[in-house]
Structure 1
Amino acid sequence: MINNSYRSRSFVLTHHHSHNRWMFISVIFLGGIILSLLLAFVAFGSDFGDLQEQSSSLKLVIILHRHGDRTPTQTYENDPYKDEQKYWPLGWGQLTMVGEKQLFELGKIFRKRYKSFISRFSVKSVRVMSSDIDRTLMSAEALLAGMFPPEEDQIWNKELLWQPIPVHTVPRNYDKTISLKAPCPKYELEKKRILKEIKQNETVEDKQFFKYVSLHAGQNVDSIREIETLYTCLFIEELNGLILPVWTETVYPKEMREKAALSMSTYAWNTVMKRLHGGPFINEILDYLKNKSRGRLQDKKLFLYSGHDITMVVMWRTLGFNEFILPAYGASLIWELHHLGNDHYVKMFYQNNTKEREPYELQIPNCLNPCPLDKLFAITEEVRPTDWDAECKIDSTDY
């Protein structure tokens, strides 16, 4: 007769001496790991994806985005598509309907991400700035339409679920933060020096490349700046479904893209250029972060900047990121101020394009993640001008 007490033994003890014991132990071990991961996800889920905005630690958001899809600002001599009336009826450098939709979608992405932090528009909580050019102004408006559709008492026209939101700008020749067109003689001198240095270091292959492109473009193309312009033109034409000339197949997109990315990076190549070109913007956003952390700007929750690819690249490099990038339409840099414990921290994100539903978090160079606000001030000190106008002046030591 079989002892019933033996039957009642646990499953583990019953199989302790069986040939399957190691398999069983492995299953139990893996199950424990999976259970731990699930518990961790539940415990820390508020730090992931869509839930991040629900964190009570979030105090301020600053967003810099590039405008949407546009027409070319210029073409080249042998361009088969340079007839403005036929191919670009909107005019040169104008936001397209595709671009409008891109930024509207970007606004919806930000609305979803920050809905519990800032659910509706108010002039007290939101300030929007743009460079003084059609495509960035229109991009800002399209983004705002997606991010802040009117709700309840904000609905002033039931046939149009849209509300007017102020977008601020300054003339381009005074703009040292977004369009970066404010005159700075010392910066221009340094930029010319760097471009000359790059030109002097060209290889035989580089010279052959420029000669080939010049021959087929029908104009002299002998610098990475001119390649950048040409690459952008071809890129836009390709996006619009136009068949590129056969001669481009050996140089576009790879080689031209590499040189275009190099060209963009030279706008903030060294510390002097970062300080004079990117420094004013860094000073501005750090002032917002500092004032918010000290109890000022109590009502402000969002600062939004509508800019260009060059704005994005200059900020990227000024903060110490060295990777060469060519920001897509609608690409965005995001700064979030969080109050954790007794201190304030900054998290930084990059939205690569308007198709991605979530930005990915960046590791700010030379800082922890998240980055203590005081540390962010310290690591950016050498690229923040104390008197921009004075530092832009040229003296005898600059030659």
Structure 2
Amino acid sequence: MKWKILTSTGVLGAAVCSCTARTLLADSDPNILEDETSAHSTDNRLTLKQAQVFFRHGARTTIHTIPKLEEAVYDVKVLRHLIPHTAFTLDLVNYDTGGPKTKSHLDEHYEKKKLSGGCVAGQLTTLGQQQCFSLGQKLKEEYVHKAKLISEDFDPSTVFGRSTNVQRTIESLRCVMAGMFGAQNLRKIAPVKVYVADTKTEVLFPNIQRCHVLQQNNHSVLFHIADKPEYLPSRHKLEEAFGVNFKDYVGLNFVGIRDDLVARKAHGLPVPSYALPLWDMIELMASRMMYATFCGQHKAERDLITRLSTGPLMTYVMDNIRDLEENKRDAKKLFLFATHDSTIVGLLGLLDIWDEQWPPYSVDLRVELYENENKEKFIQVLYMGKPKKVRGCDSTLCSLDQFRKAMKPFMIRDKEFFAICKSDILEKIDKEIKEEEKGEVQTEEIREQSETPAGM
């Protein structure tokens, strides 16, 4: 594997990255991944009836910084300028009440961390805007030109846009919509209504804050997984390379180290030479850590954690399909969901197509509903543009009944969700959880990190 240390700064620096690691290139530019022909372009007997698109936000400034490593300079004048062809006004509506969106707890969390160069942690960059705009253009080609699912003009009766209550995902949704419908056209009808839920009801990412069981698992992964035998040798290599001890810094872990390095590489910022030989190991350990957070650390708890973290979202997906089946007045043909890596990891785990690869910036996962001439319905799931054979299905094109049967064990409504979340079920399944918590001093910093999903 060949690597080049990047010393240029700004967006142009990312364009000249010559590293050849597939995952890292994908984080910088997901469009390098080859598309695979989807159902609506291979079988004329099938008609696309609905598509639900979940996409990760575009490239962002780092959320974590590695102790003792000189901070990268995130020049706000270079990395945060607005791209004109993505600019139009959004009307941010509270999904639950129909009123204005509420304050973002996560944005308040990010704003506490000021970065060298004028940016703050977790901000969508100019590069990220362009990545999401390009995704929008790709979706336009698929759903407007090829499948003819929707028209070229934005129509809120057929298209539904929703974002998590985080500035970078809201901006990413704007850029995707600009790529699909044209910012110039959207300005004529602006402000364009999109929806944002309260944190207490959010299902677009694994909601640690409203579930004690998920919080327990999140805390265990963030603060204790690096002590376990399968992670410890890798941890020691990183500690030696970076001259740090995980125990000396609250929340220092594989995910945080990866986050700092990936944000640097994506934006053409300096990366220490000693980190490059360790990249594949960092990538693998961080990805496994994320999977453990949202899909369980052990086989015995896998279905439980997956159901609590992503089951509410899959329930929402299936409800949207049902609404279209029943010809409900507010049923939509296209859903655009601006989300996070945690969302994608959870969905990949639930669908049983997890590949131990961190979801790159602006990557998309789609759930498509088709109908044939006999009115029989089918589901196709695409990840990175490629059809996937998901849990419980015999092929990449799965009957809706078969798909619904496979998803049913993970679907969950609020009453059951909160009953399980308040229980001690995880402690009964995973005895280590209780042992890990003994003697711990819960500082405000530890508590805040425990309540924030890994990677966010």
- The question of a shared fold, defined as TM-score above 0.5 by the shorter chain, is answered with yes
Equivalent in 261, 266, 287 of residue 234 of structure 1: 261
Whichever residue aligns with residue 393 of structure 1, its letter is K
Q: Which residue of 1 aligns with 2:158?
A: 125
Q: Which residue of 2 aligns with 1:80?
A: 70
CA contact (8 A) 1:155 1:163 kept: yes
CA contact (8 A) 2:213 2:426 kept: no
| Structure 1 pair 304–93 and aligned structure 2 pair: CA distance change class (3 A) | same
Q: Which residue of 2 aligns with 1:32?
A: none
- Residue 139 of structure 1 deviates from its aligned partner by 0.2
Distance 2:187 2:361 in 1: 31
Whichever residue aligns with residue 51 of structure 2, its letter is V
| Structure 1 pair 336–83 and aligned structure 2 pair: CA distance change class (3 A) | closer
CA contact (8 A) 1:175 1:181 kept: no
Whichever residue aligns with residue 264 of structure 1, its letter is M
User: Larger deviation: 299-308 or 192-201?
Assistant: 192-201
Distance 2:178 2:425 in 1: 51
Q: Helix, strand or coil: the match of 2:391?
A: coil
Equivalent in 202, 213, 238 of residue 230 of structure 2: 202
Higher relative contact order (CA 8 A, sep 6+): 2
CA contact (8 A) 2:321 2:369 kept: yes
Distance 1:155 1:131 in 2: 21
Question: Unaligned stretches of 5+ in structure 2?
Answer: 1-36, 76-114, 297-301, 429-456
* Identity within the alignment, %: 21
| Structure 1 pair 326–156 and aligned structure 2 pair: CA distance change class (3 A) | closer
Q: Could you report, residue by residue, the CA deviation over 1:201-232 in whole angstroms, capped at 9, with x for unpaired residues?
A: 3376335325415x524764799971111111
Q: Which residue of 1 aligns with 2:272?
A: 245
Larger Cα-atom Rg: 1
Distance 1:328 1:202 in 2: 25
TM-score, scaled relative to structure 2: 0.67
Q: Helix, strand or coil: the match of 2:156?
A: coil
Q: Helix, strand or coil: the match of 1:256?
A: helix
Distance 1:345 1:300 in 2: 17
CA contact (8 A) 1:224 1:262 kept: no
TM-score, scaled relative to structure 1: 0.76
Distance 2:205 2:123 in 1: 18
Question: Unaligned stretches of 5+ in structure 1?
Answer: 1-46, 352-358
Equivalent in 271, 278, 298 of residue 303 of structure 2: 271
Q: Which residue of 1 aligns with 2:195?
A: 168
- Residue 187 of structure 1 deviates from its aligned partner by 2.1
Task: Report how many aligned residue pairs link the two structures.
Answer: 338
Distance 1:192 1:219 in 2: 15
Q: 1:1-399 alignment to 2 at 5 Å?
A: 51=41, 57-81=47-71, 87-115=116-144, 116-119=148-151, 120-149=153-182, 163-178=190-205, 180-192=207-219, 196=224, 199-202=227-230, 205-206=233-234, 208-213=236-241, 216-217=243-244, 220=247, 226-251=253-278, 253-266=279-292, 267-269=294-296, 270-297=302-329, 300-340=332-372, 341-351=374-384, 359-369=385-395, 370-386=397-413, 387-395=416-424, 398-399=427-428
- Residue 265 of structure 1 deviates from its aligned partner by 0.8
- Residue 56 of structure 1 deviates from its aligned partner by 6.0
Q: Which residue of 2 aligns with 1:15?
A: none
Q: Helix, strand or coil: the match of 2:196?
A: coil
